[in-house]
Amino acid sequence: MDLQQSTQYLNANRKHKDSVFSKLFSSPEILRELYSAVAGIDIPPDAILDINTLSEALFMKQINDLSFTINDRIVVLIEHQSTLNENVPLRILMYIARVYEKIVQNKNIYHRKLVKIPTPEFIVLYNGKEECPDHYELRLSTAFKDTSCFKLPGSAGLPLELAVQIYNINQGRNREMLKRSTYLNDYSLFIGKVNENKEYLSLDESVRFAVKYCIENNILKEFLEKHGSEVINMLFDDISVEEIAEIRAEEAREEGLEKGREEERRYFLNLLDQGLSIEEIKQHLTQTASN
């Protein structure tokens, strides 16, 4: 699949976007555990979680990962990202406007009486390859153009602002958060296993091996046994066009070594079949290369 085909594939699948992340955390109980872990508080079991994630039937071009209300007092938008993107606040601004449309659809906002709406909270969970701190914040105002020449107020007086909390959920980061949610920790382990193998295997092979490994080691076992055949396609859809471009550029630079890479891939798979761990294989390959 070349870059143009990959881009067409991604654009087509955005119309019916469903990611491993959003599918895993689509039930209220699992979502309760996830939010409790990220927020560092315990959401009581009798709290009502109403999932209102935007559906493709109404919003073909803008579909978020997860959104829900808690007791109709808080509305939470959670996005999952495998690449760092400074435009997240702008995207979430578009999402939250649509979500509020759904929330107040039966209320007349043109009446004199104030219409109360849930307080928003915006969260991004990141598990990509780029270096990223455990936590940082992105603000919509960072994207605003300079208006000092018009003598408009500074950031303190801006009429519109939106803050997004970014959390790194790669293994070894935000350990306490991952401890509080088995599902979030297992998801991090699963994606980590996929990324670990991509150095030697194709994405398809990496995902298949990761699914097999996680089922055998009781990591998201029930979820992967039920949805394993979908996971590969969903992870392809999760990869951004930028990542595909990077992969293709790297492959072009290494075209002359492709035959050797294929032999190495088959050798790697053979060692996996023999029961060697990833670390043992890496040590073996390193020793072979040095000789």
- Give 211-250 pLDDT, tens digit per residue: 999 999 999 999 999 988 888 777 765 554 445 555 555 5
Mean pLDDT (whole number) for 18-47 = 91
pLDDT digits (tens, 9 = 90+) for 251-290: 555 555 566 666 667 777 777 777 777 777 777 766 766 6
Which is more confidently placed, 15 or 29? 29
Question: What value does the mean pLDDT take over residues 91-108?
Answer: 91
The pLDDT-based confidence of 11 (bands split at 50, 70, 90) is very low
Report pLDDT for 274. Answer: 75
More confident residue, 20 or 69: 69
CA distance 278 to 206: 12
Mean pLDDT over each residue of the chain, to the nearest integer:
81
Amino acid 252: pLDDT: 59
pLDDT band at 35 (very low <50, low <70, confident <90, very high): very high
Decide if pLDDT at 69 tops 70: yes
pLDDT band at 1 (very low <50, low <70, confident <90, very high): very low
Res 136 pLDDT > 50: yes
Provide the whole-model pTM. Answer: 0.76
- Measured CA to CA, the distance from residue 230 to residue 211 in angstroms comes to 11
pLDDT tens digits, one per residue of 141-159: 999 988 777 766 555 578 8
Domain ranges of the chain: 3-147+155-180
